[in-house]
Chain A
């Protein structure tokens, strides 16, 4: 069957399901007893299995199938949610993710998952995965877990006069062909009886995936002593311990099993309820129905709409000059409708930052484990919405900053407790709206930034001279972190400090029209604060005129506009300044900066726009204010990439292009 047309949908949905499984497994780790979470994971895994089987990705389906079995066992209380179970689940998720990524890159989605499948199978059988086996062996001697079917067999066999034994067999440490010895033991037992269960599983025994110790459960008519003797005849078998499996032991547990079954039935009696619950939860996730739309189509829609806005501007001008009541009314109504339309189109492109944040808890968990640190990630404001294009780009910088926080920020548990801090470090990841911007903050309660270390490193790397370093403020000092070629980690680690430093993060964020700042208190933590535009495509600006040219100044950087008298302009160190609300603010003559042709106005009053960058300000001298307007941001194209103090362009109502000022470049 032709499946390619469904491939995109498959990939998208698989990613969503994986994301949701990831999240739920993390939740499960925090609340292991919560069966509703297991159900949630089970549902996602089940859907994923169905989808991948339909699409013909067998490895994917296979692995999800095994996961599903394990989840089922957890759901039926046959298996406890232990850290080893979670580790295997996470490992499977990693495989699944890798496969989906491969498929999305045009691959076949094939991957060697045998190992993980085995571990899952082992888990499902109530066994401890191989990695945990050594510990498990110490506890050997206690009875294995038997499932309903096995118990049934044991009980029935006992009734027919068979003995049920659990054999703990140890091979000699120097045994070379372990699989062969296992085979020989099996041979011996099969002569006298039947093997009903092995630990580890048979295939693991055959591939020598065990230490020197394994356990068999057998049914035989021979006596315990006899069995032991026969097995000891196999060479290189060190010791055999035989435990009789008592029927009453089984009965007790099979009773509890029965209870569980009852419980299960109860659950299944009311599928209707369950279904409605499912619907409720999915409703909570996303209100109403959704469809998938290619972002390109939205871009096209936006472009067409921009054209419409430009024409609307023309219509407004025409209707003004014609002074026709009817035309006026129609145009006004059209303006209102198109305003609403604009809002809808813009919000269509907005997605919650959750999409990016979702993958972080998992990452933090892994990193913390690798580094032997204890870290708790607190996410606040995941529902904050951002333009899709920003969302796509912001992931990598955030990953970088989070890695940074764990690697350089949060101290080892030992160090933390000796400092009187909670052993578990906390990283806050916050997102919130403020005006036309979205802020994302990453705050840790770690060691903070060592100023001296930063300074000496900066001097060492030639970013700064010793003299310059002496009168730097804290902020300036921290800014050095973003200088290119700077990395304070003494040891280059796998996690961060691979030479690509925070400068890359800064560049990325600035290319998105945002900014990043850092603040830190030594000993108590660091906070990185990222400011991002709400959307890349629309912004509010103040249009001003300089001679006959029109420029747009982003409202976000304007403090206020003012008209000052010529006498108010003062001079300090050859720099014209004004006194603005008690502060001395330098005056920037835009006509000079932009080399605008035409004579300087000779009026007594000078219109200025006071703009800021951080806590620095400047007053831009213009000729006149036109007014505030919502504009569509356009790039200048690939040809003009680095124009001084211009961040882009926009098309005005009359079809003309106006340039957008980059105030950050004007204030140094």
Chain B
């Protein structure tokens, strides 16, 4: 039993990804997002999550997969890692399963175009290939350091 981990499975383009359930606070439907000016493109803005202002990241954009318009199945997965809390826009959130830790293999060089950097490992369950995300790296705020593109007045 100790070797099993509950994971939430979501879809991004044609691939299925997994994040440990203890990092997931909730799954929300798509809602209006307030844009934040002059930040990196994958940060779509912030939403009001029951009184808490929560930043929203478009995972497609984060992994440099082409963006699509949001559909009925589009979900925001609210995750929290350490003190950081953020929402991830995914194409669909499908399933919760128990994953045998022994079935997790180290990541191959390239999986579905996502940099191996963000991947903790892959797991094969029956015919499905699950990509386990390394949320700490995905949510690394250092990636946010962008220079202001325009100078304000002097």
Q: Residues of A with Cβ closer than 8 Å to B?
A: 303, 306-307, 310, 549, 575, 586, 588, 592-596, 618, 634-646, 649, 651, 655-659, 665-668
Q: Is the CB of A645 within 8 A of B152?
A: yes
A586-B153, A636-B36 known, 7 other contacts, Cβ within 8 Å: A588-B152, A593-B38, A596-B37, A637-B54, A637-B84, A638-B141, A667-B152
Show 9 A/B contacts (Cβ-Cβ < 8 Å), sorted by A.
Answer: A307-B51, A549-B34, A593-B37, A596-B37, A637-B52, A642-B144, A645-B38, A646-B37, A659-B37
B3-43, CB < 8 A from A: 32, 34-39, 43
Which residues in B have their C-beta under 8 angstroms from that of A659?
Answer: 34, 36-37, 46
Tell me the smallest distance from the CB of B2 to a CB of chain A, in Å: 31
Q: Bound state CA distance, A586 and B152, in angstroms?
A: 11
Q: Is the CB of B141 within 8 A of A588?
A: no
Select B38's contact among A310, A549, A594, A649, beta carbons within 8 Å. Answer: A594
Which residues in B have their C-beta under 8 angstroms from that of A637?
Answer: 46, 52-55, 84-86
Tell me the smallest distance from the CB of B153 to a CB of chain A, in Å: 5
Tell me the smallest distance from the CB of B53 to a CB of chain A, in Å: 5
Q: Bound state CA distance, A461 and B140, in angstroms?
A: 34
User: Is B130 at the interface (CB under 8 A from chain A)?
Assistant: no
Q: Is the CB of A636 within 8 A of B53?
A: yes
Q: Is the CB of A656 within 8 A of B51?
A: no
User: Is B150 at the interface (CB under 8 A from chain A)?
Assistant: yes
Q: Which residue of B lies closest to A303 (CB)?
A: B51
Which residues in B have their C-beta under 8 angstroms from that of A575?
Answer: 153
Which residues in A have their C-beta under 8 angstroms from that of B32?
Answer: 656
Q: Bound state CA distance, A641 and B47, in angstroms?
A: 16
Q: Bound state CA distance, A455 and B37, in angstroms?
A: 38
B43-96, CB < 8 A from A: 43, 45-48, 50-55, 82-86
User: Is B128 at the interface (CB under 8 A from chain A)?
Assistant: no
Q: Is the CB of A643 within 8 A of B141?
A: no
Q: Residues of B with Cβ closer than 8 Å to A?
A: 32, 34-39, 43, 45-48, 50-55, 82-86, 139, 141, 144-145, 148-150, 152-154
Q: Is the CB of A655 within 8 A of B48?
A: yes
Q: Bound state CA distance, A388 and B51, in angstroms?
A: 21
- Given the contacts A303-B51, A588-B153, A549 and B86 also touching, CB distance less than 8 Å: no
Q: Is the CB of A640 within 8 A of B152?
A: no
Tell me the smallest distance from the CB of A28 to a CB of chain B, in Å: 47
Q: Bound state CA distance, A657 and B47, in angstroms?
A: 6
Q: Is the CB of A644 within 8 A of B34?
A: no
Which residues in A have their C-beta under 8 angstroms from that of B86?
Answer: 637, 639
Q: Is the CB of B153 within 8 A of A594?
A: no
Which residues in A have their C-beta under 8 angstroms from that of B144?
Answer: 639-642
Which residues in A have their C-beta under 8 angstroms from that of B148?
Answer: 644
- Given the contacts A643-B36, A644-B37, A636 and B46 also touching, CB distance less than 8 Å: yes
Q: Which residue of A lies closest to B141 (CB)?
A: A639
Which residues in B have their C-beta under 8 angstroms from that of A642?
Answer: 144-145
Select A639's contact among B34, B35, B139, B152, beta carbons within 8 Å. Answer: B139
Q: Bound state CA distance, A635 and B139, in angstroms?
A: 18
Which residues in B have their C-beta under 8 angstroms from that of A310?
Answer: 51
Q: Bound state CA distance, A586 and B153, in angstroms?
A: 8
Which residues in B have their C-beta under 8 angstroms from that of A303?
Answer: 51
Q: Bound state CA distance, A310 and B50, in angstroms?
A: 10
Q: Which residue of A lies closest to B39 (CB)?
A: A643
Which residues in A have their C-beta under 8 angstroms from that of B43?
Answer: 640
Q: Bound state CA distance, A655 and B32, in angstroms?
A: 10
Q: Bound state CA distance, A667 and B149, in angstroms?
A: 16
Q: Which residue of B lies closest to A657 (CB)?
A: B34
Select A643's contact among B38, B84, B154, beta carbons within 8 Å. Answer: B38
Q: Bound state CA distance, A656 and B46, in angstroms?
A: 9
Q: Bound state CA distance, A310 and B139, in angstroms?
A: 30
Q: Is the CB of A640 within 8 A of B51?
A: no
Q: Which residue of A lies closest to B140 (CB)?
A: A639
Tell me the smallest distance from the CB of B135 to a CB of chain A, in Å: 12
Select A638's contact among B39, B84, B154, beta carbons within 8 Å. Answer: B84
Q: Bound state CA distance, A638 and B86, in angstroms?
A: 9
Tell me the smallest distance from the CB of A580 to a CB of chain B, in Å: 14
Q: Which residue of B lies closest to A596 (CB)?
A: B37
Q: Is the CB of B37 within 8 A of A651?
A: no
Which residues in B have their C-beta under 8 angstroms from that of A655?
Answer: 48
Q: Is the CB of B83 within 8 A of A649?
A: no
Which residues in B have their C-beta under 8 angstroms from that of A586?
Answer: 153
Q: Is the CB of A595 within 8 A of B37?
A: yes
Which residues in A have their C-beta under 8 angstroms from that of B85?
Answer: 637-639
Q: Bound state CA distance, A643 and B53, in angstroms?
A: 14
Q: Is the CB of B153 within 8 A of A618?
A: yes
Q: Which residue of A lies closest to B57 (CB)?
A: A639
Q: Bound state CA distance, A667 and B152, in angstroms?
A: 7
Q: Which residue of B lies closest to A658 (CB)?
A: B34
Q: Bound state CA distance, A596 and B43, in angstroms?
A: 15
Tell me the smallest distance from the CB of B133 to a CB of chain A, in Å: 16
Q: Which residue of A lies closest to B87 (CB)?
A: A639
Which residues in B have their C-beta under 8 angstroms from that of A668?
Answer: 152-154
Q: Is the CB of B34 within 8 A of A649?
A: yes
Q: Which residue of A lies closest to B145 (CB)?
A: A642
Q: Is the CB of B34 within 8 A of A656?
A: yes
Q: Bound state CA distance, A659 and B83, in angstroms?
A: 21
- Given the contacts A307-B51, A649-B53, A666-B152, A595 and B38 also touching, CB distance less than 8 Å: yes
| Max count, chain A CB within 10 A of own CB: residue among B37, B148, B149 | B37
Select A651's contact among B51, B84, B153, beta carbons within 8 Å. Answer: B51
Q: Is the CB of A657 within 8 A of B37?
A: no
Which residues in A have their C-beta under 8 angstroms from that of B34?
Answer: 549, 649, 656-659
Tell me the smallest distance from the CB of A256 to a CB of chain B, in Å: 68
Which residues in A have their C-beta under 8 angstroms from that of B153?
Answer: 575, 586, 588, 618, 666-668
Which residues in B have their C-beta under 8 angstroms from that of A596?
Answer: 37
- Given the contacts A596-B37, A640-B36, A643-B39, A306 and B51 also touching, CB distance less than 8 Å: yes
Q: Which residue of A lies closest to B35 (CB)?
A: A549
Q: Bound state CA distance, A656 and B51, in angstroms?
A: 10
Tell me the smallest distance from the CB of B29 to a CB of chain A, in Å: 14
Q: Bound state CA distance, A665 and B48, in angstroms?
A: 25
Tell me the smallest distance from the CB of B45 to a CB of chain A, in Å: 8
Tell me the smallest distance from the CB of A526 to a CB of chain B, in Å: 29
| Max count, chain A CB within 10 A of own CB: residue among B46, B50, B144, B145 | B46
Q: Bound state CA distance, A651 and B36, in angstroms?
A: 14
Select B55's contact among A595, A636, A658, A665, beta carbons within 8 Å. Answer: A636
Which residues in A have their C-beta under 8 angstroms from that of B45?
Answer: 657
Q: Bound state CA distance, A49 and B153, in angstroms?
A: 63
- Given the contacts A636-B53, A638-B83, A639-B139, A593 and B48 also touching, CB distance less than 8 Å: no
Tell me the smallest distance from the CB of A188 to a CB of chain B, in Å: 74
Q: Bound state CA distance, A307 and B139, in angstroms?
A: 28
Which residues in B have their C-beta under 8 angstroms from that of A665?
Answer: 152
Q: Is the CB of A646 within 8 A of B141?
A: no
* Minimum-distance CB pairs A-B, first 8: A594-B37, A657-B34, A649-B53, A634-B53, A638-B83, A638-B84, A644-B38, A639-B55
Q: Is the CB of A649 within 8 A of B46?
A: yes
Q: Which residue of B lies closest to A590 (CB)?
A: B37
Tell me the smallest distance from the CB of A374 to a CB of chain B, in Å: 46
Q: Bound state CA distance, A651 and B46, in angstroms?
A: 11
Which residues in B have their C-beta under 8 angstroms from that of A666?
Answer: 152-153
